[in-house]
Amino acid sequence: MILGILVLFFFICLSLILLSVKIFVSGETEAQKILVEQKEKELLAPQMQALQQNLTNFNQTLFQLESFYQNQFKITKTLEQISTVFPSEIYLTNLSVSPQIKEEGGWQTSYNISGFSPDRDKLLKLKENLDKQGSFQEVYFPPVSWMKIANINFTATFKSK
């Protein structure tokens, strides 16, 4: 009988302890909810919203500027590259450069050149130099450019990656 009362008393005490723990945890949760609501209101305040908007705009602008400068097409660099492939005595009368953005990013540039070569050998050397230059591809001289042995007015097209 006494043992029964003791065990029952133990369970009643345990229930009371658990009840007080439950009340404490619920109270804490409610307090946290109120704090969260306060902070949310603080964040939704017009001043904070404006600041958040400024931060987003600032980050976006920096990202866009970084991307612009990284992908900027440097035409002087390509002109310098072209000038290295010309043998002496060959000169250009016209050069046209059209850069285009590739779908996968980066640039592909198309070149149209026309010029004068004193003889065929120098023109062959120019073609060889363009082919050897790693950054140029699809080098094409129309057949008419090879017809004359000397005083050749040539045209050519090529692309760069």
Residues forming the site for another protein (CB under 8 A)? 1, 4-5, 7-8, 11-12, 14-15, 18-19, 21-22, 25-26, 28-29, 32-33, 35-36, 39-40, 42-43, 48, 51-52, 54-55, 58, 61, 64-65, 67-68, 72-76, 79, 89, 91-99, 101, 116
**Closest distance to another protein from the beta carbon of 81 (Å):** 12
Contact 156, 139 (CB under 8 A): yes
> Can you tell me the distance from the alpha carbon of 7 to that of 125, in angstroms, rounded to the nearest whole number?
106
**Closest distance to another protein from the beta carbon of 23 (Å):** 9
Task: Provide the 10 A C-beta neighbour count for residue 35.
Answer: 10
**Closest distance to another protein from the beta carbon of 104 (Å):** 13
Q: 19 or 144: whose CB is closer to another protein?
A: 19
**Closest distance to another protein from the beta carbon of 139 (Å):** 19
Q: 88 or 134: whose CB is closer to another protein?
A: 88
Q: 25 or 150: whose CB is closer to another protein?
A: 25
Q: 102 or 143: whose CB is closer to another protein?
A: 102
Which residue pairs, CB below 8 angstroms and at least 24 apart, start in 100-107? 105/71, 106/71, 106/161, 107/71, 107/73
**Closest distance to another protein from the beta carbon of 45 (Å):** 10
Contact 156, 145 (CB under 8 A): yes
Rounded to the nearest angstrom, the gap between the alpha carbon of residue 105 and the centroid of all alpha carbons in its chain is 8
Residues in CB range of 89: below 8 A, 6 or more apart: 117, 118, 122
